[in-house]
Structure 1
C-alpha cells in the first residue's frame, strides 16, 4: 500500500499497519509512520501502533520504550476508558523505571473503578520498589481479599506484613489462617520413602536464590563443612538456569533445574529423589513454591535462612532458630516446631581477609557518620523518625545505599520521607548500588556506626558491617524477624549496642557520638572479636546443624 502524500488516514491504512505489527514487521511499520505528515502521525490509532511497535520488537531500546510510554500516557489521559492502554503503561513503567506518573493514574483509577487485578498488582509492585512497605502491604491485602486463591499475593501480603510496626506475632495465626486453607492439595502419584540410600541422609535445599544473593555466605559456610560420608546434598534450583544461578553447583552431589515444573510435577519429581530432609530457603519470598510442602515431598521439611518467620504451613515440620530469636513461651505462635541451635541460627563464611579496614571516618570528617545498607523496604516511617531525631541531636551524617532500582525519581521520593530540616542540611547521603561485591563491602569504610532497621532488622548487612569493623546499633524485637540484630550482637558480646526501645535507641546513638574512643577501638578489634564468636565459626555451626538433622532423622525412622 502506498502511503505517499495521503491526506487522510482511513480504516484500510490502519488495518494494513496492524498486519505489519502482527507479523512482526516492526521496522517497516515504524518507517512508514515516521514518514507521515504531522496530522496523520497524530492519528490516535497510528500513534498506538507506533508505540506498540516500539515496545514489542526484540531490540527495543530504553529511549524507544520511553517514547511508547509517553504516547500511551497521552492516549490514556485523553480517554481514561481505554484500559488496554493503562495496562501497557503498567508493564512499561518497570522497564523504564518511571513510577510517579503512573501512580497518579492508578490511584485515580481505583477511586473510580471496581477491583482490577492488573492495576492492584502494579500498585503493589511499585510501592515495593519505592521501599514503601505500608502501601505495598495495603495493596497486597486488597488483592488477597479479592483473589483468596492467589498464593503469590498471599506470600506478598505475609512477607510485607513483617515490615510493619503494627504486625504482632500473636495475631498472625488468625490473620494468615486463610492462606493455609487456600493452599491446594493434589492427588500425588509418587510415594514418600523413609529409607536412606547408601546409609547417607539425603538432604535437599530448595530456593530460587542460588544466584549469589544474601544467603550465599551462610549457605556456603554450611555446605563446605557437611560430612559427605554421612550426608548426600541435593539442590533444587527454582530460578532460571544460568552461570550465576548455577555457581554453587559443585557444592552439591546432585543438582536439579526445576523452574519449569508445575507444582504437581515438582512434587512428583522431588518425591522420586527420595529426599529424607528438605530445607526451604525462601519462605514467602518471591518465587517460592510453598504448595509443594503442603503436599509433603519429604518425610522431614524445614524452613531456614532466607525467611525469618513462620511459613504458616503445619506441613513444614521445623523452623531453625536460636535461643534469642524465639522464646520458649512463644513457640505456640509459630506453625512449625522450633529447632533451636545452641548459639546462632546462621553462621556466615568469613569474608575476604584482604578487605582492608581503614581509619575511622570521624578522624577525617570531624563528625560521626552513621550508616545502613539495608533494603529500603526495611526503612519504615518510624525508622525515619528515629534516625531523623538522632541526626538532629548530633553533629553527624547518615549514609544509605539505594536498594533495588536506583534512579533520581526513587531517590527524591525516598528523601522526601525525611523532615526538611534534615534533608536541607544535607545530612543524608545516598550511595549508588554497587555491582561488584567487593566495592559494596568497601563502602563500609565510610561509616563509623551502623544503624539497624526495625522491626525488620538487617542480617547479611550486619555481618558485613561487623567484618569491616563497624558496630551496629539494633533494637530489641518481639519475634524472629525483629530479633535477628539482637541475636547477632548477643553472640558478638556487644549487648551495649542493643536498645530496649526507640527512646533508648536514640539515646544510645547520641551517646556513642561522644564515645569516639570506644568506636575507634571497635574499629581495630571488631573483626577479630567476630571471628572468635559464633558469627563466623562455620565448622562448629555445621557440626551443630548436622547433628540436629541426624537426630531428627533417627527419631523419624525409629
Structure 2
C-alpha cells in the first residue's frame, strides 16, 4: 500500500493522529496532499453548505500549516487564499488571513476544519483570536456538528478546548450535548467513577473560562437540567457553580429545581435558602416558578399557606394594588363569553382537558376566545381542535411581556365576561395578562395544583374534595364542582394487546409507576420495596422515562439499596401515537399513585385505559387529586390514608384477583358516562359554576365561594 493510500485509509477511519504522522513522515505535498485534503474536509450541512479548498492555492506541507493559514498565523505571504462557499448566499468567496475574522460563518468553518481533521492544538488559538475581536461578547452558534465536536473533546479530556467550544453553543446544542454525556455518565457502570471525574474536570475548566458569563452559566444549568438529563451532575457541582456566581438567584433557583428532580429524600433539599434569596430579590416571575416546585418537597398546609402569602406580599410590594373595578357586562346579555389563556394549547395535560369540552360549550350558552401564549403547532390535533371551536384565536408569545397590555385591550374589546388562566405557576409569565383589567372576572383553572392567592384572581375552579382541608379564608374564592375539577378527552386504543407484546411475561403482575420523576420520593420507593418483599419479588414495577439514562440509573440504584432486584424493574420509553401508550397502560394490572404530588393527568390516562389507581390521600391539594378522581369514578375503596394501608392494598390486589377484576370491570362499565371522561356531563357542571360567578359579577356582587349542583348522570 502506497503512502498516499495509507493516508487516505487513515482519514476514512478518522484516525487523524495516524494520518498526520504519515503526512509529516513522507512529506505529502500539493497537489496530491491538497486532493486528499479536499476529500477529507469537504462536507455538507443541511444540504446546502460546503467548504472547498482550491488546490492551486495550497503550498503547505501538513495539517498544522493549513490550520495556521485559516487562523491567520501562517508565515506565508498575505496573498494566500482559501475558497469557501458562503453559508447564506451560496456564492464562492475567497478568504485571506486578513479578513476571515470578520465573518461568523468563516469562524464556524474553521471550527469545522479543526473538527474534521482533529486539529485540537489550533483550536484554542482560533478562539483566542476570535475572542480578542469580540471582547466580552460571545457569539451563539447553532451548527449541529458543534455538540458532537464538544462531546469528542470532553471524551478525549481536552477540557480547555471543550470549554472554548461550549461557551458558543446555543441552548439547544447544550441540551443535545447533555444527552450524549448522560449516556456516557450513567450507562457505563464499569467506568462510572472515571466518567464522573472527566465531567468534573470539564466543569471546573468551564467555570474558569473568562467568557463563561452569568448568562452562559444560566443557559448551561437550564439546558442540562430541563431537557438534558444531567440534573444529578449539576447537583453534585452546585456548590462550585453557585460560588462562581454567588449573588445570582436565577442560577440558584434553577439548581434548586434540579435538586427536586433527583433527590428522592426531599428533606435534604435546602429550599428555604433559595426561597429567601428569591424573595429578597423581588423577582416575581422567578418566585412563581419556584413556587410551582415547592409542593414537591412535601410541605404542610400551614407551610404552603405561609409561602403563598410571602409571594402575595412580594407582588404587592412590586406592583400597586390592582383596581378590579372593571365594568360588568349587561344583565340582559344572554350569551356568556369567556377567554381561555394558556401556553399549553397542545399535546399536554391542559390541552387534553380543554379539547375534551370546547365542542360542548355552546350548548350551555357559552362562546370562547383563545389567547395562545405558547408555540404555534399546526400539526397538533389538540391545538387544532381548540382553535377550530374558538370564535377568535390570538397568538401572542408570553416572552414579550410588554405586549400583554395590547392583549388585554383586545380581550376588553371582545367584551369577555371572564379570563380563565389555565397555567398558574406552571408559567407565571402567563399571569401578567390578568393584571390589566381586561375582563370583570379573573379565574384560574387546572395548571399547577393549588391556588394562586394573588389579589387580581377572583376564583379558582376546584371541587369539593381537593380543597376540603384548606381554611375558607385562604386565597381566592372557589367554584366548587360536585365531581372532579377536570375532565379528559377520550382516545381510542387497541385493548387487545397483552403484556407479552411489551416484553413482559403474561403471568407477571405489573404495578404501573408511570410518573414525572420529580414526584417520586424516598417514601414512595420504600413502599414499593415493602410490596415486593412481601410478594417474594414476583412482581414488576413499570416506570416510564426509559429514554433518560439518568432516571434509570437513579431508580435502579435506589431500589437496589432497598433490596429490590433489577428483574423487578422495567422502564418504558415515550410512545407515539398516544393510542399506543394507552394500550401499554391497559396491560398493566394496577397503577400506584405518588404521594405528595399525585399522578394527576397520568391517573386519568390509567383509568381510561381500564387500570385502577391506588392513591394515598393527603391534606394538600396536590396530594388529593387522584383521590378526587377515584371518588368521581366510584372507586373510593382505592383511596387509603396511611403508607401501611397503601402497601396492604397493593398486596391485597395481587392476592385477591377477584377484587382487582371487579374494579377493572367497574371502570369499563362506568368510565364513558363519568364526568371524568364524558365532556358533555362535565361541561354541564362547569358551565353551571361559571354562570353562578358571572351572574354575580353582572349584578355587581363580590366573589364568594360557590358550591355547584351535582352533574347530570
- The TM-score bracket by the shorter chain reads 0.7 to 0.9
Q: Kindly state the Cα deviation for residue 195 of structure 1 after the two structures are TM-superposed.
A: 2.1
- Which of 229, 233, 241 does residue 368 from structure 2 map onto? 233
Q: 1:19 to 1:297 in 2, by over 3 A?
A: farther
For the pair 1:209 / 2:344, whether they are aligned, the reply is yes
Structure 2 CA distance for aligned equivalents of residues 313 and 391 of structure 1: 45
Aligned to 2:204: 77
For the pair 1:513 / 2:645, whether they are aligned, the reply is no
User: The residue matched to 1:227 in structure 2 has which SS?
Assistant: helix
Q: Kindly state the Cα deviation for residue 43 of structure 1 after the two structures are TM-superposed.
A: 4.8
Aligned to 2:645: 504
Q: Kindly state the Cα deviation for residue 507 of structure 1 after the two structures are TM-superposed.
A: 1.4
Aligned to 2:494: 355
- Which of 525, 529, 543 does residue 384 from structure 1 map onto? 525
For the pair 1:151 / 2:236, whether they are aligned, the reply is no
TM (normalized to structure 2)?
Answer: 0.68
- Which of 219, 222, 238 does residue 91 from structure 1 map onto? 219
For the pair 1:160 / 2:300, whether they are aligned, the reply is no
User: The residue matched to 1:274 in structure 2 has which SS?
Assistant: coil
CA contact (8 A) 2:674 2:681 kept: no
Structure 2 CA distance for aligned equivalents of residues 426 and 219 of structure 1: 40
* Aligned-pair Cα RMSD in Å: 3.9
Structure 2 CA distance for aligned equivalents of residues 517 and 138 of structure 1: 48
Structure 1 CA distance for aligned equivalents of residues 265 and 334 of structure 2: 47
For the pair 1:398 / 2:541, whether they are aligned, the reply is yes
CA contact (8 A) 2:598 2:626 kept: yes
CA contact (8 A) 1:55 1:65 kept: no
Structure 1 CA distance for aligned equivalents of residues 145 and 565 of structure 2: 40
Q: Kindly state the Cα deviation for residue 206 of structure 1 after the two structures are TM-superposed.
A: 0.8
CA offset digits 1:303-355 (Å, max 9, x no partner): 1122320112132111112221222x734363011211122212223332x53
Q: How does 1:41-440 map to 2 (within 5 A)?
A: 41=123, 43=125, 45=127, 56-60=141-145, 62-67=147-152, 71-72=162-163, 77-78=204-205, 80-82=207-209, 84-85=211-212, 88=216, 91-92=219-220, 93-94=223-224, 97-110=229-242, 114-117=246-249, 119-127=251-259, 130=262, 134=266, 135=269, 141=275, 143-148=277-282, 150-165=283-298, 167-183=299-315, 184-185=318-319, 192-195=326-329, 199-227=334-362, 230-243=365-378, 244=380, 246-247=383-384, 248-259=386-397, 260-262=400-402, 263-286=404-427, 288-327=429-468, 330-332=470-472, 334-352=474-492, 354-356=493-495, 358=497, 365-394=506-535, 395-402=538-545, 406-440=547-581
CA contact (8 A) 2:610 2:664 kept: yes
TM (normalized to structure 1)?
Answer: 0.85
User: The residue matched to 1:450 in structure 2 has which SS?
Assistant: strand
Query: Which stretch of the first structure deviates more once superposed, 450-459 or 181-190?
Result: 181-190
User: The residue matched to 2:647 in structure 1 has which SS?
Assistant: helix
For the pair 1:23 / 2:81, whether they are aligned, the reply is no
Q: Kindly state the Cα deviation for residue 8 of structure 1 after the two structures are TM-superposed.
A: 12
Q: 1:288 to 1:137 in 2, by over 3 A?
A: farther
Structure 2 CA distance for aligned equivalents of residues 440 and 103 of structure 1: 32
Q: How does 1:443-522 map to 2 (within 5 A)?
A: 443-522=584-663
Structure 2 CA distance for aligned equivalents of residues 499 and 12 of structure 1: 73
User: The residue matched to 1:107 in structure 2 has which SS?
Assistant: helix
Alignment coverage as a number of residue pairs = 550
Q: Runs of 5+ in structure 1 lacking a partner?
A: none
CA offset digits 1:431-457 (Å, max 9, x no partner): 112232112111113311110011111
Q: Runs of 5+ in structure 2 lacking a partner?
A: 1-56, 75-96, 132-136, 164-198, 700-713
Q: Which has the higher relative contact order, 1 or 2, with Cα contacts under 8 A spaced 6 or more apart?
A: 1
Q: 1:41 to 1:342 in 2, by over 3 A?
A: closer
Query: Which stretch of the first structure deviates more once superposed, 354-363 or 82-91?
Result: 354-363
Q: 1:147 to 1:392 in 2, by over 3 A?
A: farther
Q: How does 1:2-21 map to 2 (within 5 A)?
A: 13=73, 20=101
